[in-house]
Amino acid sequence: MPTVHIRFYEELNYFLPKQKRKKSFSTRFTPGDTVKNLIENLGVPHTEVDLLLANGSSVGFDYFLQQDDMISVYPVFESFDIGRISKVRPQPLRELKFILDVHLGTLAVQLRMLGFDTQYQTNINDDELAQISQNKQRILITRDRGLLKRKAVTHGYCIRSKHLKEQLAEIITRFDLRGSIHPFTRCLKCNTLLSSISKQEVKGKVPEYIFKMYTEYKNCVSCDRIYWKGSHWKHMLKRLNDMFSNEQKTKNDTAPER
Ligand SMILES: [Zn+2]
C-alpha cells in the first residue's frame, strides 16, 4: 500500500498515541482514499481540524491522497492569523449555538447559566444529535469521538476534560466566548430566554425569605420558573473569576497525557 507522511499540530496531538505525537510519521493509505478518511482513521475527528496542507498547499477534506504526500493537519486557530490560506471550513457559524450529548447535562446547565443557547435532552440518540447539529447549525459537544466522525457533523468539539470546571473553560477558550457571556438571561431548565418580572409579580410565588432578600427577578415564559441572583449565581461568578485567573494554566492543560 502507498504511504504518506503526516504531522498533526497543537492540541490535535491529544487524539494520537504517544509515539505519533508532535512529529511527522509515515502511514499507509488505500489508493483513492481522501485525507478526511485518513485523519479520522488515525483517531482525529474532522470537526477538530481547521486547516489541511498537502505539500505546502491548502486542500479540502475531499483531497485524494498521493504517494509520498506531506500532510500537515492544524486545529482551529485561536489567534494565529492565517490570512489568505483557505480553511477546510470556509463558513464559520455566525451565532454560536450548542447541542450537548446526553452525558453532559451538568455542563449544559452551566452554559445556559452563562447565557449560551444550549440544546440538551436526555431522550435523544446519536443519529438525532448529528441531524440537529447539521439542520439547526448547532455545535455538537461530546466526549464521543465516533459521534464527531459522522459526515453530518460539520461543527463539533470533543471535550477533553472529565471535570466540569475544566470543561467549561475548554469551551470558553476554544470558541473565544469570554466576551459573549451574558449570565442570568436564559432558563437553566429549558434554554428559553428569560423575561424581566417585577418584584410585585413574584409575591407569593417565591419563598418569603427570598422575597425579602432580592429585588431583581426574571421568569421563563415556557416553564414558569422564577429566577433571582441567589447562591448559585454567586457560585457561578466565583467560578468565572477563578477560571479567568487560571486561564493561562488551562490553555496548557488542554492536551493532557493519556
Ligand atoms: Zn424554562
CA 220 to centroid of ligand 1, rounded, Å? 5
- In this structure, the answer to whether residues 124 and 158 fall within a common structural domain is yes
Q: Please tell me the distance between residue 110's alpha carbon and the centre of ligand 1 in angstroms.
A: 14
State whether 144 and 199 are in the same domain: no
C-alpha cell belonging to residue 162 = 472529565
Report pLDDT for 181: 87
Number of domains in the chain: 3
DSSP 3-state percent helix, strand, coil across the chain (nearest 5)? 35, 20, 45
Q: How close is the Cα of 207 to the center of ligand 1, in Å?
A: 19
Rounded Cα gap, residues 200 and 176, in angstroms: 39
Q: How far is the CA of 189 from the centre of ligand 1 (A)?
A: 5
Q: How far is the CA of 202 from the centre of ligand 1 (A)?
A: 16
Q: Are residues 12 and 47 in the same domain?
A: yes
Output the CA 219–ligand 1 centroid distance in Å.
8
The strand order across the sheet containing 226-228 reads: 195-197, 217-219, 226-228
Is 254 contained in some domain? Answer: no
| Residue 64 and residue 12 share a domain | yes
Cα torsion through 198, 202, 210, 229, rounded to 10: -50
Cα 190 to averaged position of ligand 1 atoms, centre (Å)? 4
Q: Report yes or no on 109 lying in a domain.
A: yes
H-assigned helices in the chain: 35-41, 105-113, 126-135, 145-148, 164-174, 199-202, 208-213, 231-245, 247-252
Last residue of a domain, one of 149, 182, 215: 182
How far away, in angstroms, is 157 Cα from ligand 1 center? 26
Amino acid at 119: Q
The answer on 105 and 55 residing in a single domain is no
Q: What is the rounded CA–CA span in Å between residue 150 and residue 134? A: 11
What is the distance in A from the centroid of ligand 1 to the CA of 186? 8
| Alpha carbon separation from 195 to 57, 156, 220, 234 (Å, rounded) | 51, 30, 6, 20
- Domain assignment of residue 114, yes or no: yes
Query: How many angstroms separate the alpha carbon of residue 35 from the centre of ligand 1?
Result: 44
The answer to whether residues 103 and 177 belong to one domain is: yes
8-state DSSP, 197: E
Does the residue 243 lie in any domain? no
**Residue 107 near residue 164 (C-beta atoms within 8 A):** yes
Same domain, residue pair 120 and 147 = yes
Q: Tell me, yes or no, whether 55 and 128 share the same domain.
A: no
Question: Ligand 1 mean position to 217 CA, how many Å?
Answer: 14
Ligand 1 centroid–CA 62 distance in Å is: 42
Cell digits for 51?
486547516
Contact 39, 46 (CB under 8 A): yes
Q: Please indicate, yes or no, if residue 93 is contained in any of the structural domains.
A: no
pTM, full prediction: 0.69
Distance 228 CA to ligand 1 centre (A): 14
Asked whether residue 110 falls in the same domain as residue 154, the answer is: yes
Ligand 1 geometric centre to CA of 227 (Å): 10
* Predicted local confidence at residue 56, as pLDDT: 80
Residue 163 resides in a domain: yes
Distance 107 CA to ligand 1 centre (A): 17
pLDDT by residue, tens only, the chain of 258 residues: 899 999 998 888 889 999 999 899 999 999 999 999 999 999 999 988 888 888 888 889 999 999 999 999 988 754 344 444 555 654 555 568 999 999 999 899 889 989 999 999 989 999 999 999 989 889 999 999 999 988 888 889 999 999 988 999 999 888 888 888 888 899 988 999 999 999 999 999 988 988 999 999 999 999 998 998 887 778 778 877 887 776 545 444 444 433
To 10 degrees, what angle do helices 105-113 and 231-245 make? 90
Do 54 and 8 share a domain, yes or no? Answer: yes
Segments forming the whole domain that contains residue 214 = 195-228
Residue 258 domain flag: no
Is residue 176 within 8 A of residue 93, CB to CB? The reply is no
C-alpha cell at 246: 487560571
- Is residue 257 included in any domain, yes or no? no
Distance 195 CA to ligand 1 centre (A): 11
